[in-house]
Amino acid sequence: MKIPFRGAPVAPLDPALVAPMSTPARPELTGGRRIGVLVQHGFTGNPVSMRPWAEDLAARGYAVEMPLLPGHGTRWQDLNKVTWADWVATVDSAYEKLAAENDAVVAVGLSMGGALCLRLAADKGDGLAGICIVNPAVDTLRKDVKLLPVLKHVVPGFPGIANDIKKPGADEHGYPTTPLRAAASMFAGYAELRKDLPRITVPVLFFRSAEDHVVDISSSRALNAGLSSKDFEERVLEDSYHVATLDNDAPRIFAESAEFIERVTAQQQG
């Protein structure tokens, strides 16, 4: 990479491809109760990375809200116009809709989407039945992140992080550039989230890829050290990279998350 990197060419994404998803509950498939699931994509990504999971959940009878985060799904430059607070507000709005229409709510997320689920769990407490997170980002070992507050004023972006997928032919249609203003805001949000991890007491199912070229082991260490959840399990994915929801372990994630959702929503009712 040469400095200054001005960003990859602009290639607007098809709005239909990255559209959010909203489906009602089908209580006849879930024991008569209405169960809602908030599904959240990650940084520089969009609902493409989560759509197969969201569709699997909907087919099982769960209400699904899968929002498109502000600044995503259009052009990477748009991401530099929004902040962590905007993404938190979007997730909160989706949660409130699900909570108003259903008997119980679970949140699932990938990467930064996982961090936003953790943020929601810290803020809502027992309002959530549980969260399921895949390769969530809450920390990093990268030293250059400390330079983001300065670099964001010098260059608009660095080369992108999209498509860290082991499975041939898979494409998450993420941005080709990582916008630095947005990244700086995200990492500041992570720092605040790490302080609040002890506030999280709801059940947590955590999937982590053994080989991940985007999120390193520091996030796993932070969760294991910080969470107060007594019902916490970390499961390692051996055949997927970062975007595991589109990778070889996706069927496992879908099946095991459904078991988790069924269990924790029944416990909440109990």
- Residue of 49, 56, 72, 111 marked catalytic: 111
Q: Is there a catalytic annotation at residue 242? A: yes
Residue-wise pLDDT tens digits, 88-108: 999 999 999 999 999 999 999
- Residue of 139, 185, 209, 242 marked catalytic: 242
pLDDT for res 155: 79
Query: Hey, what are 144's tokens?
Result: 């250059």
Residue-wise pLDDT tens digits, 158-171: 888 999 999 999 99
DSSP result, 17-79: TT--EEE---GGGTTT--EEEEEE--TT--GGGTHHHHHHHHHTT-EEEEPPPTT-SS-HHHH
Contact between 203 and 129 (Cβ < 8 Å): yes
Q: Is there a catalytic annotation at residue 185? A: no
pLDDT for res 130: 98
pTM across the whole model? 0.94
- Residue of 56, 139, 164, 212 marked catalytic: 212
Contact between 135 and 215 (Cβ < 8 Å): yes
Residue-wise pLDDT tens digits, 189-242: 999 999 999 999 999 999 999 999 999 999 999 999 999 999 999 999 999 999
Q: Please report, to the nearest 10 degrees, the dihedral formed by the alpha carbons of residues 236, 241, 243, 249 taken in order.
A: -50
Going by pLDDT thresholds of 50, 70 and 90, the confidence category of residue 146 is confident
Contact between 207 and 177 (Cβ < 8 Å): no
Stretch among 5-14, 102-111, 216-225, 261-270 having the lowest mean pLDDT: 5-14
Q: Is there a catalytic annotation at residue 72? A: no
Q: Count CB neighbours of 158 within 10 A.
A: 18
Per-residue burial over 22-37, b if 16 or more Cβ lie within 10 Å, else e, is ebebebeebeeebbbb
